[in-house]
Structure 1
Amino acid sequence: MSDQIKHECGIVLIRLLKPLQYYKDKYGSWRYGLDKLYLLMEKQHNRGQDGAGVVSLKLDQPSGMKYLFRERSNQKNSIQEVFANIYKNFEYESDHRPDLFEDPEWAKTNLPFAGELYMGHLRYGTFGNGSIEHVHPVMRENNWRSRNLVLAGNFNLTNTDEIFNALVELGQHPKDYTDTVSILENVGHFLDEENELVFRKYKNEGYKNREISYLIERDLDIRKILERSSKRWDGGYVICGMLGHGDAFVTRDPHGIRPAFYYHNDEIVVVTSERPVIQTALNVRYTELSELKPGHALIVKKDGSISEEMVAVPQKRRSCSFERIYFSRGSDRTIYLERKELGRLLAPKVLEKIDHNLKDTVFSYIPNTAETAFYGMLEGIRGYLVKWRMEKVQELCANPDPQKLEEVLSLEPRVEKIAIKDVKMRTFITADTSRDDMVAHVYDVTYGIVRNNVDTLVIIDDSIVRGTTLKKSILKILDRLHPKKIIVVSSAPQIRYPDCYGIDMAKLGDFCAFTAAISLLKETGRQNIIDEVYEKCKAQQNLPKEEVVNYVKDIYRPFSDEEISRKIAQMLTPEGTHAEVEILFQTVENLHKACPNDNGDWYFTGDYPTPGGNKVANNAFVNFMEGRNQRAYC
């Protein structure tokens, strides 16, 4: 993605199922779990730019001894800072007490973060500000272990207002108006109720309070707590939790919008946002991992028992297709193959655009994340060449001219490394004109490869959101190569609607497809459609989310995809560009062919999986019309 769009968050949950001595004996260190936590977080660093946090829990600590430890950072290198602070104490102890430091029993008693249960989080904030208080994991503390609650998640809710108001109606006074605090207090409320229910049961049976505390920890029904608390949640989420006595869980939304994968054996339970990081960190096979099912929770009790239980009725699977196109790491087997297929499916349209003239076409990609789709596009073009060669050889008859035969057999797509991201320019120059000039030089190009005014240059990108980088940088530098034509190919369809489930694409005015459609409506004398959509959206603002219709679809209805693509190309072509510029987008139909199991396509179609999505789309349009540059779900 040439435009910088920040990702959703990443999560890690680790539960060690053996005593720390076991890991010292087998792996050489009681720090096995903590070291794996660091590796799993680093391997998911692509998912969070705003902060990182870690919580560790020690099982069965005596009264009066701390058992929960947390470290968070909102600095630029947050993962490194978190673990540097954790290991700072370790370095001191290892220098001064080397023999004791290696003793797991002594470490658990004396060292923070020497525990059996770990939670890690990488944050990109779509709600709240960047202060340390908004960095996960977040905690709800209590003097009873079973009422302590720690949460971290990859989520965004569209109806925080409903949940917040429900908490107020209960008599609570939430300390902040964010989805994180609302979910924490929401789960905490039902955790308190479950504690009270079990307490009353055993109190009536004559047990003493101290005995009852143990029985509560044993009998807490995590499934029921999650089932009751999540009934109001409208959004995409994967939420990790741990309770102070040692129960842990990870729960996923009913549509499976956000991803979660897990692995367990007799030593360890691991849950992450991405599958290949577990394969790398634990050296396990693809087939040994499981995907957490939509509407289910993976529950790990203090005694080590593991179950995957339904906590919300699963709905039609609408897992996020942007995970497949861009956000997740491409080292996942299925994601890699899907990205290749996205490129391959574009090949026929690309060949049509260049009139099948491979001799005068140069193929490349930008940025690096588009490389896999590029390989797929080349496979599609080479597949066409196989058929073309067979036809040409047949036309040459039994005794072909050797020179002509060589021309047929040697024809290959011209593949070149055209653009390289040179440096990350910093906008320390205050004048806008100077800043734009700096941005225009973010990419460097390979000169002397493209023949002046002869060759067509085909560049594939994985998605085009705003188009800002294309206009201010990429197209300008590509035009310096003097191609006859530049075709920018997007392996994703036109992004038309805001996201509200955890990705930072929430403002309609940021999308070049939306801006193009608005311009076309004005140019063709259909301003009335814009006004009518505004009135319809305004009229729905006080309706329950279940009754809201996505009227933003009417903005695009009068035009074909090709008409909007042509307008986008016109808008994004920098002034003074000599080459003809075309932009070719993937179709939604081909997206579903390439990613058949992950058909969450609301960015492209406006078909949201939850009612809150329609409300967000309409609010985003009202914000656009009224000049408010803010997210539609804040």
Structure 2
Amino acid sequence: MSDPIKHECGLAFIRLRKPFSYFQQRYGTVMWGLNKLYLLMEKQHNRGQDGAGVAAVKLNVEPGYPFMHRRRSNAPQAIADIFEQIGSEVAELEKYHPGIKSHPGLMKGHVPFLGEILLGHLRYGTQGKNKLEYCHPFINRDTVPARNLALAGNFNLVNTDELFTLVGKEPSENMRFSDLAAMIELMHKHLCDADETSPEKMDIKKVLKKTLPLFDGGFHVGGMTGDGIGFVFRDAHGIRPSYYYVDDEVVVAASERAAIRTTFNVAENEVKELMPGQALIVDEKGEIEICQVLEPKERKACSFERIYFSRGSDEKIYKERKALGFNLSEPVLNMIDNDLKNTIFSFIPNTAEVAFLGMQKGMERYLNKIKLERILSWNKDYDAEKLEEMINRRIRVEKIAIKDVKMRTFITEDASRNEMVQHVYDITYGTVRPGEDTLVVIDDSIVRGTTLKESIIRMLARLKPKRIIIVSSSPQIRYPDCYGIDMSKMGDFIAFNAAVELLKERGKTDVLQKMLDKCKHLQNNNQLHTENVVKELYKDFTPEEISDKIAQLITPRDVKIPVDVLFQTVDGLHNACPNNLGDWYFTGDYPTPGGNKVVNKAFMNYMEGKNERGY
């Protein structure tokens, strides 16, 4: 993605089902669980670099001794920072007690994070930036073990104010907008109520069934109580991804299937998906239950996970991203009038590479078809040289754009900063015949278009191609998200700005005022959640009209080379990712009422000049 955006968090949950002596004997270390937690978090590092945190619960601890521990970090390499601290503690312990690592019981007693239940989290902040106090897990403590609760998750809620009201608690200024703070307060209240009702046996399922229906959002959350109950749950629409693996030794849950597969070296079919509205519960004895705690609703798993966010090493995601690119091959051929001889294909590194392979496959299929037709038309009137020349024709593929990952600009003055931003990407010189070749470059999505305008288009123009075509493997992003991705300001979307510009050109800016008036009317009647008013903005324009306007907006004024933009269609997206139909970014069809409220609020903020989130 050329436009960096804040996005998904990552969750890692491990419940050991064997005593530490077992892991010492079989794997030669009592640290097996912690080592696996580290790997599980590192394999999801793509999901969060603002901070990280881990928590551990020890089972069967003597009264008076600590049983729940937590450590968080917002250091630049937060995962490494946390585990280096844990490793240093172990090394210090061994320094004064040589050979203690061979004694599982002593290690458990002296190493705080050597617990049977482990919870890890990687954070990409949607509020609070990278402040340490916003890093998960959160913990609510109590003198009664069963009332101690730790939570971490990948989610956003749009009704935090209502949740704090239900708790009857005024949040601190820092926690007022924290989704997890609202969630843990409400869950902790029901947890304490359940403990009073049945102190002999905590019914976590009952707590989840009471609490989860109150949350408006998409969520994948892991938690644990002080008396040894671990759990993971998912929202009713399955918006956020959730996977788990179980064997005799361990119960694992994470945000990505590939992370579990790599960490535990298991087959694709051994890692299961936690279905919408389900919870995975592991009791204090290690017994497992998969239960339906929310009534499942229409599956709206996030399609952006497949386009960009999740690691492409997952075999299903890899195939889907290739399909996204393949779907675009025919429209691209139409745009270049099938002129493969004078067209060079490339991609914007690094996440668009797999979609590029799919587009390349589509081009090669077309070229092979042409080759076959030409050879057959010769009716055996050819020699070896003529046949060899035809067979060896290839799609022209080059690595045009190169991202200088370490490039940072320290200048804040606008003019100088824009000059520096141009050079975040570099180009491969000598690849394009000036004035003859068309450049087709695929990106996985276009959000703001800022990087395209300030960097990529300028850099590509230096090669002096006849024409530049930017291809997006995702459809036009027209609406904000409120379920885990920090895209909630209408003015940030290039598609929205293109539609506004078209209204201005056609003298229809009164449409914007009518939309604002309608939003205010809905707000005054507490009905802002009932419909997506912003859909009215796009209804008079074809996708092609908006794409053409986007092309104009992302073309710097001093660049005279023609620039076109081609987007994936929504049908093409669904065809490539048939099990992830959550497409509200592109269609405005939000799975929960809170989505409508957020998009309308974001539009009102735009019209009133407020540069703030829509929730």
TM-score (norm 1): 0.95
Three-state SS of the structure 2 residue aligned to 1:540 is helix
How far off its partner does 1:404 sit? 4.5
Which of residues 461, 471, 496 in structure 2 aligns to 1:514?
Answer: 496
Deviates more, 1:59-68 or 1:128-137: 128-137
Which of residues 247, 263, 267 in structure 2 aligns to 1:285?
Answer: 267
Figure out how many residues of one structure are paired with residues of the other and give that number: 612
Does residue 433 (structure 1) correspond to residue 409 (structure 2)? The answer is no
Tell me if the contact between 1:545 and 1:612 (Cα under 8 Å) persists in the aligned partners: no
Deviates more, 1:287-296 or 1:573-582: 573-582
Aligned to 1:385: 367
Does residue 323 (structure 1) correspond to residue 300 (structure 2)? The answer is no
Tell me if the contact between 1:237 and 1:257 (Cα under 8 Å) persists in the aligned partners: yes
Aligned to 1:399: 381
How far off its partner does 1:98 sit? 2.2
Gaps of 5+ in 1: 200-214
Give the distance between the partners of 1:583 and 1:382, measured in 2 at CA: 22
Three-state SS of the structure 2 residue aligned to 1:369 is coil
Aligned to 1:211: none
How far off its partner does 1:544 sit? 4.3
Tell me if the contact between 2:155 and 2:218 (Cα under 8 Å) persists in the aligned partners: yes
Which of residues 534, 556, 560 in structure 2 aligns to 1:574?
Answer: 556
Does residue 541 (structure 1) correspond to residue 541 (structure 2)? The answer is no
Tell me if the contact between 2:29 and 2:101 (Cα under 8 Å) persists in the aligned partners: no
Tell me if the contact between 1:14 and 1:270 (Cα under 8 Å) persists in the aligned partners: yes
Q: How does 1:623-634 map to 2 (within 5 A)?
A: 623-633=605-615
Q: How does 1:455-474 map to 2 (within 5 A)?
A: 455-474=437-456
Aligned to 2:208: 226
Give the distance between the partners of 2:515 and 2:133, measured in 1 at CA: 39
Give the distance between the partners of 2:129 and 2:471, measured in 1 at CA: 35
Q: How does 1:137-152 map to 2 (within 5 A)?
A: 137-152=137-152
Gaps of 5+ in 2: none
Give the distance between the partners of 1:307 and 1:385, measured in 2 at CA: 53
Tell me if the contact between 2:164 and 2:170 (Cα under 8 Å) persists in the aligned partners: no
Q: 1:131-154: CA deviations, max 9, x gaps?
A: 221111001100111011111111
Does residue 166 (structure 1) correspond to residue 173 (structure 2)? The answer is no
Is the alpha carbon distance of 1:76 and 1:378 closer, same or farther for their aligned partners in structure 2, counting shifts above 3 Å?
same
Does residue 528 (structure 1) correspond to residue 481 (structure 2)? The answer is no
Is the alpha carbon distance of 1:103 and 1:296 closer, same or farther for their aligned partners in structure 2, counting shifts above 3 Å?
same
Give the distance between the partners of 2:27 and 2:300, measured in 1 at CA: 40
Deviates more, 1:63-72 or 1:402-411: 402-411
Q: How does 1:160-559 map to 2 (within 5 A)?
A: 160-168=160-168, 172-175=169-172, 176-177=175-176, 178-199=178-199, 215=200, 219-400=201-382, 404-544=386-526, 548-559=530-541
Tell me if the contact between 1:56 and 1:113 (Cα under 8 Å) persists in the aligned partners: yes
Tell me if the contact between 2:6 and 2:125 (Cα under 8 Å) persists in the aligned partners: no
Is the alpha carbon distance of 1:355 and 1:266 closer, same or farther for their aligned partners in structure 2, counting shifts above 3 Å?
same
Give the distance between the partners of 1:249 and 1:57, measured in 2 at CA: 13
Give the distance between the partners of 1:594 and 1:543, measured in 2 at CA: 41
Q: 1:510-538: CA deviations, max 9, x gaps?
A: 00000000000011111111111111111
Aligned to 2:56: 56
Tell me if the contact between 1:155 and 1:238 (Cα under 8 Å) persists in the aligned partners: yes
Give the distance between the partners of 2:135 and 2:570, measured in 1 at CA: 36
Tell me if the contact between 1:71 and 1:86 (Cα under 8 Å) persists in the aligned partners: no
Q: Which amino acid aligns with 1:61?
A: V
Q: Which amino acid aligns with 2:119?
A: M
Tell me if the contact between 1:56 and 1:114 (Cα under 8 Å) persists in the aligned partners: yes
How far off its partner does 1:431 sit? 2.2
TM-score (norm 2): 0.98
Three-state SS of the structure 2 residue aligned to 1:236 is strand
Aligned to 1:208: none
Three-state SS of the structure 2 residue aligned to 1:302 is coil
How far off its partner does 1:405 sit? 3.5
Q: In angstroms, what is the RMSD of aligned CA positions?
A: 1.3
Aligned to 1:153: 153
Give the distance between the partners of 2:130 and 2:443, measured in 1 at CA: 30
Aligned to 1:205: none
Q: Which amino acid aligns with 2:349?
A: P
Tell me if the contact between 1:545 and 1:614 (Cα under 8 Å) persists in the aligned partners: no
Give the distance between the partners of 1:545 and 1:335, measured in 2 at CA: 38
Give the distance between the partners of 2:527 and 2:581, measured in 1 at CA: 22
Give the distance between the partners of 1:32 and 1:615, measured in 2 at CA: 46
Is the alpha carbon distance of 1:223 and 1:5 closer, same or farther for their aligned partners in structure 2, counting shifts above 3 Å?
same
Q: 1:2-51: CA deviations, max 9, x gaps?
A: 01012211100100000000000000100000010111111111111221
Tell me if the contact between 2:468 and 2:564 (Cα under 8 Å) persists in the aligned partners: yes
